[in-house]
Amino acid sequence: MLIEIDRWLSPGRGGKIWRMTTTTGFTDFAERHRARLLAELTEFLTIPSVSTLPEHAADCRTAAKWVAGHLKELGCPTVKMLGDRGGHPIVWAEGPRVPGRPTVLVYGHYDVQPPDPIDEWHSPPFTPTVVDGRLVARGASDDKGQVYCLLKAFEASRGPDGRPPLNIRFLIEGEEESGSKTLTNLLAKEPERTRADAVLVCDVPYVAPGWPAVYTALRGMCYAEITVRTLASDLHSGLYGGAAPNAHETLVRLLSQLKGPNGRIRIEGLYDDVQRPSRAELAAWKRLPFRERKFLRDEIRAKALTGVQRASVLERLWALPTFEIHGIAGGFTGTGAKTVIPAQATAKVSLRLVPNQKEKKVQRLVASQLKRLAPKWADVRVRFVHGADPIQVDTSPPVFTLVDQAFREVVGRGATPIRSGGSIPIVPALGRSGAPVVLTGIGLPDDGLHAPNEKLTLQQLWDGIAVFARLFELVGSDE
């Protein structure tokens, strides 16, 4: 069947193009059920499951229950809510047993990032709104919309008797955006839950519209709070200014010593384990549809790019560690003016880590660097909040050929291997049993993850349901 696709689906080519697709039962599943699917996803997105804010703990539970209820309705004989008290529940489900068929473990997260700054949303973040074929809501793309896509792919893949084409497990957690502690503990205690022929993680975007991706590496993370105390209590800045040590000044000087003007991070030993991408990989990145000027104009929207100038932009994003300051608290920031010397200041910072770095080692390097830099008048403390090791994925196992085929049949293009600068903390644990981990997804680069007006392009969802239903069928029928 020939389908006309718009110019925007085909970057770099003018006019209309035509693509071949096979009509599987799966493409019309979404067509036939569109209104219901949109209503269901809207219901899911309405729940403000912000995992990092304690006042939303009940909402996280509601979102978990929504997922669990849905999986029961889809005919999963085992559906459980797991985890520790104090954490957000993990939804575990097993599909009906299909003897002799492979097992796929599906991972995703129902928690979302805080919606602030609220004023910048054109519609309320938890009132999903369709504008120009895009569903706008917090979590639309990261990751509720993608979790929902997999639930529906499972639904679509079942035969007339309700029997799925393979054995399927779902592991849907509620702390991905805040470090995955509960799931880390669960998998340490019960590693057999990850036993599968393949793990499918659907929480990332395409390379570009019409251009699916499969990820070969994600960065890790080391998130920390640095607190500087210089005084027993705040002081009058007139009476004591000039002689008393200022906590904010001390903190800001300290932070500024952690990165040079050339973008290089000044933490001793930090680059020792950084592995350069291979020549072949660097060459492949040059062939991607990445244009620095367009990236600056459409995604970054700033006056200039920063960072290590001798490295290409993709290398800076995908293969080099970062150091970012997220916020500085303390002192006086209210309306008007207050003349005070603050006694204490705290910065939230993080480093992104790249293949071969290790979170634990980086924590030690950060702590020793701060010790070296701390002036004698300051008490400097660091608290590590959460983190993750970076990951690298070998995409040679046969399941990747099937992923490629499913995308090719439905979207008209296979999955291009790329990396991302983002992190998914639980991925190393998901792969520990030896199952290949497929990192892919249905997002688009302009989805606005973690930002105001996050969206999911609905066509991506309709296509995605067909892609993953077909993938389940292909994996199930694989010899």
Determine the size of the site formed for ligand BES (CB under 6 A): 18
Q: By rule CB under 6 A, what string of x and - marks binding of each residue 185-214 to ligand BES?
A: ------------------xxx---------
- Inter-CA distances, 45 with 36, 113, 143, 278, 364, Å: 14, 12, 10, 41, 39
Nearer Cβ to ligand BES, position 88 or 386?
386
Which entry of Mn ion, ligand BES, none binds 422, CB below 5 to 8 A by partner kind? ligand BES
- Alpha-carbon span 127 to 130, nearest angstrom: 10
- Interatomic CA distance for residues 110 and 213, integer angstroms: 22
Q: Does 145 bind ligand BES (CB under 6 A)?
A: no
For ligand BES, which residue of 42, 420, 433, 459 counts as binding (CB under 6 A)?
Answer: 420
Q: Contact with ligand BES (CB under 6 A): which of 102, 212, 425, 436?
A: 425
Structure tokens at 46: 């309405």
Judged by beta carbon, residue 107 or residue 285, the one nearer Mn ion is: 107
Comparing CB distances to ligand BES, the nearer of 75 and 445 is: 445
Residue 150: closest CA among 213, 111, 199: 199
Binding test (CB under 6 A) with ligand BES, winner from 221, 354, 411, 458: 221
Do residues 392 and 318 lie in contact, with contact meaning Cβ atoms separated by under 8 Å? no
**Residue among 332, 418, 340, 344 at smallest CA distance from 381:** 344
Q: Which is nearer to ligand BES, 113 or 129 (CB)?
A: 113
Query: By CB under 6 A, which span of 10-18, 311-319, 331-339, 421-429 interacts with ligand BES?
Result: 421-429
Strands (E), 29-186: 78-82, 90-94, 103-109, 129-131, 134-136, 167-173
For ligand BES, give the closer residue by CB, 143 or 463.
143
Q: Is the peptide bond before 117 cis (omega within 30 degrees of 0)?
A: yes
**Cβ of residue 256: shortest distance to ligand BES, in angstroms?**
24
Nearest to 170 by CA among 98, 93, 254: 93
CB of 226 to ligand BES, least distance (A): 18
**Least gap, CB of 352 to ligand BES (angstroms):** 8
Binding partner of 265, given ligand BES, Mn ion, none, CB within 5-8 angstroms per partner class: none
Contact (Cβ atoms closer than 8 angstroms) between residue 249 and residue 344: no
**Among all chains, which residue has been given the structure tokens 């979102």?**
63
d(CA 400, CA 449): 26
In the complex, which residues of this chain contact ligand BES (CB under 6 A)? Answer: 142-143, 176-177, 179, 203-205, 218, 221, 386, 388, 420, 422-425, 449
